[in-house]
Each structure stands twice: as C-alpha cells, then as structure tokens.
Amino acid sequence: MLEQGDAAPDVSVQAADGSMVPLADLLGRTLVLYFYPKDDTSGCTSEAKDFSALKPEFDAAGADVVGISKNSPADHAKFIAKYDLKVRLVTDPDGLVCEAFDTWVQKSMYGRKYMGIDRATFLIDTSGKIVRIWRKVKVPGHAEEVLAAVRAIGSAGSDGAAATA
C-alpha cells in the first residue's frame, strides 16, 4: 500500500487522443491525481465539477488536476462536454494505474461483491513524491481540502511539511 513520502508509481495513462502518457510526463508542477469510479454518475460528476470550479485556484497555486477512471477517452469527451469540465481526464484502460495506486479494490453493494475503483486522491510534488493521500473520499468539501493542501505545500517549500500535518 502506498504511503505519504513514497515515490509515485512509474505508470502510464491514456490521454484524450488515445496516446499513452507516462505519469512522469505530468510532473514539473504539483500534481493532484484523483481516482473516481465512473463518468456521469452523481458522486463522480459532483467531484469533477468541484475540481473544475476550483481549477483557476489550483492553477494559481501551481498545481495540475487530473482525474483517472477506466472510462474510454470518448466517454470522457462526452462527460467533459456535458458538464463543461475544466480538469483533465485520463483513462486507465488496463487497470495498471489503479493497481499501482491501490485504488482497484473489492467493493460490495447489496451483498454483491465486485471489483471497482475506490475514490481516492493523491497529491504529488514536483519531484514525484506523494505528499498526501486521501482514501475513501467523501465528495462534499474534498476539492477545497485538496486545494488547501496544495497551498500548504507552496507555503512550506518543496518538502510539503505543512501538508502532512
């Protein structure tokens, strides 16, 4: 299980154009990776809209926000257009990214067990170190909490000490 202080896994995600992009290519700025189960469901839509509403503030704080699910790039395009989302959405077609970040988990609904993406967010500094992890995310207020942690990294310098308290 990944912990704060670990290096972010060396994996690749699928961009909107279908190309594979190494996670390392997304570094250089603070990176917020949020994993969510499925486009256009109530919780996932609220989360994407919340991050989108705060995108100018994340930009000003020097952070990029990227949402990851197993939906196809075409599904992401429809989802983005439907809600005028401002955050970048990428695809994990083979599930390797979810597995690397320990977000592919067994779930249970109405007694039925199945595998799915656990809603989680990872805050990664410019060097690729995981500064903060949120697991079992509850959507209301989450984007604001992540933004506060991003700002704390900026005020603490590159070590992220303020964000881990």
Is the pLDDT at 11 greater than 50? The verdict is: yes
Is-catalytic flag, 44?
yes
Token pair for residue 89? 């959405």
Better-predicted residue by pLDDT, 150 or 163: 150
Q: For the chain, which domains are there?
A: 12-149 (3.40.30.10)
What was the pLDDT predicted at 158? 45
Residue 31 CA to residue 160 CA, distance in Å, equals 13
Taking the model in full, what pTM does it have?
0.90
Q: Which residues pair with 130 in a beta bridge?
A: 124
Residue 26 CA to residue 22 CA, distance in Å, equals 7
Residue 128 CA to residue 105 CA, distance in Å, equals 24
148: Cα separation from own chain's centroid? 15
Catalytic residue among 44, 48, 61, 65: 44
